[in-house]
Copies of this chain bind each other. A is one copy, B any other.
């Protein structure tokens, strides 16, 4: 109806000329170009996405896969909300659109990716919350679909990824707690095969061994990646004897449940149990006493992720894919104190 044909007819031009004018080709009279652009604006013309994609062989759209149905392993629910913003902005400067593709966690993730890839509705994919062994990466690396993984994996293959430096975060957490005098330090990570949890534990264990701290398996807690997981962490710690004097949280949302359970038990975070966590969600600022944490700026991460996607799409296949280990700065807070007594 309101395609380029109608526009051409109305201007008494050929559709070829109109298309060239719209796309800023040089071989069109400036006066004609203005006439076309004005008419296009007036008629509210927008090129049909399907036609353009069909002609170009690409859609100029990248898909961000979002697992639904269970809390995201990485950083809680609002993760996408804050990440997507900057990501979209960064992709826009390269002329790319962003869509979020919801993938039910109960469904087969490979089949889901396969569908997205084969139908060619997106040019590239972004997956997140990578597992230690991740079949999605194995599949995508074997296909010819450009993709970027938010999080690395032990699955072999050449692919671009950006991962949080959770190993350093955990190591430095132990060191900072130990410097305050803590020796029995508990650690909590989401259960499951998430690679982030693995890295966090690896950093924890390395630091504990290096500093000669007690290496008690009971100090390692695996709970759900949510507020409720924090409740479980607190309950487990309260039941321990001897009780650890500090805990490190490998998931943001755990802090909420931990705080409320501690306070209900008459204990204060910081004074009675030191807590050091990780934070990416601006909304978590309400915690009091405020949480000592390693802080991730999801805006910066989103921009880096966008640039990585653009790079992958621009680079000829076979070029070495970009990899990035994302550092995070420590933000002190009164939830960390020397151990009582």
Q: Which residues of A contact B (CB under 8 A)?
A: 44-51, 53-54, 59, 61, 63, 66, 68-69, 71-72, 76-78, 81-82, 84-85, 88-89, 98-102, 104, 114-115, 118-121, 226-228, 230-231, 253, 256-257, 259-261, 263-264, 283-288
Please state the number of chain copies in the assembly.
2
Q: Which of B49, B68, B114, B228 meets A121, CB within 8 Å?
A: B49
- Beta-carbon contact of A118 and B46 below 8 Å: yes
Contact of A88 with B102 at beta-carbon distance under 8 Å, contacts A53-B50, A286-B228, A288-B260 already known: yes
With a cutoff of 8 Å between Cβ atoms, the chain B residues found around residue A68 in the complex are: 81-82, 84-85, 88
Separation in Å of the A329 CB from the closest CB of chain B? 22
| Cα–Cα distance between A286 and B257 once the two chains are bound (Å) | 7
Given A48-B119, A50-B59, A59-B50, A227 contacting B283 (CB threshold 8 A): yes
Residue in B44, B53, B119, B261 whose CB lies within 8 Å of A47: B119
Q: Which residue of B lies closest to A224 (CB)?
A: B283
Given contacts A51-B54, A88-B102, A89-B104, 7 further A-B contacts (CB under 8 A): A46-B119, A49-B120, A50-B54, A50-B59, A77-B78, A99-B99, A227-B284
Cα–Cα distance between A42 and B218 once the two chains are bound (Å): 50
| The one of B50, B63, B71, B119 that contacts A120, using a Cβ cutoff of 8 Å | B50
Which of B49, B85, B226, B285 makes the CB contact (< 8 A) with A102? B85
Partner of A44, one of B48, B76, B85, B118: B118
In the complex the two chains form, is B104's CB within 8 Å of A98's CB?
Answer: no
